[in-house]
Amino acid sequence: MKRFLLIALMLVLGVTGVLYATPAQAQEDATIVFAPVRTARVQTVTTSNGQVIEVCQSEWESLNRWHLTCDDFDSIYETVFYDDVLYVRAGDDPIWVAERRPDLTFIDSALFNLFPARIASLGDDVTVINLGLVIVDGIETTQYQYWFNDGNDAIVYDIFITADGVVIKDVISLRGYDDDGNVILLLEVTSVFISYDIDIVIGVPAPDVVIFIDSGSDSDDDDDDDDDDDDDDDDDDDDDDDDDDD
């Protein structure tokens, strides 16, 4: 189940290799003004070495409320993120596994903040290229390409945006190098935003079909402290009994 959580987050947040670096509130990229879209339906395809390995559909009420269904041709899994809580289930399993993830919550949950978040997650040492006019599904867009290279692998983010700031498609790719120094494509995640500003309401699974994963809280320590306090109280009672005997 942890694998499902990881893949779902990578596909939705679109951060390969720096998954948890996505900031809670992204900085606006200076080169692009994004249209203030509210909701979206998205189709995502992941390829590895040119082969399709996963197909996903997602719906976004906001950055803090979304639903994702993915098929990797071996299994289907479903993910819901709703106000700090991540829910995942595999196939037709009636039980959802949940985990509290406030680190994935955006302070400003407006959907259009997703794109500057993906850009910001690459860090400061990024090369930006304007590749000019590209037609996507009959729509004129400008393609911007962001490169982050650590010397071994490169994370590349391509975004296709209309003149009025609407993102039609984006692509996150992980690229490596062969023995001759040529760039090779290792993994590519392509998302097409097929509907914007439509009525979307995300719900959560019923409480009786949800099992929460231990999120590493201090509850166990608190229980231990309580047990210690109880032991101390017992010792005090024993001392009082000894005094009475005297």
Q: According to DSSP H, which parts of the chain are helical?
A: 2-13, 114-120, 219-245
Query: What's the pLDDT tens digit per position in 225-236?
Result: 555 555 555 555
Query: What's the pLDDT tens digit per position in 147-170?
Result: 887 767 788 899 999 999 999 999
Residue 6, judged by CB atoms within 10 A of its CB (0-12, 13-18, 19+), counts as exposed
Which has more confidence, 225 or 141? 141
Mean pLDDT of 176-199: 86
- Predicted pLDDT at 225: 53
With the C-alpha atoms ordered 6, 154, 147, 49, is the resulting torsion angle positive or negative?
A: negative
CB 160 within 8 A of CB 168: yes
Residue 77, H or E segment: strand 76-82
Does residue 133 lie in a domain region?
A: no
Residues 6+ apart with CB under 8 A from 7: 54, 70, 72, 77
DSSP 160-227: EE-TTS-EEEEEEEEEEE-TTS-EEEEEEEEEEEEEES---------GGGEEEPP---SHHHHHHHHH
Does residue 236 lie in a domain region?
A: no
User: Which residues form the domain of 199?
Assistant: 2-123+193-215
Does residue 245 lie in a domain region?
A: no
Query: What's the pLDDT tens digit per position in 87-140?
Result: 999 988 999 999 999 988 888 898 888 888 888 878 778 888 999 999 999 999
What is the DSSP code (8-state) at residue 236?
Answer: H
Does residue 238 lie in a domain region?
A: no
Does residue 164 lie in a domain region?
A: no
Q: Residues, the chain, total?
A: 246
User: How many domains does one find in the chain?
Assistant: 1
Does residue 137 lie in a domain region?
A: no
Query: Residue 15 pLDDT more than 90?
Result: no
Does residue 168 lie in a domain region?
A: no
Q: pTM value?
A: 0.74
Residue 34, H or E segment: none
Which residue is listed with tokens 């439509």? 198
Which pair of tokens denotes residue 206?
A: 């019923």
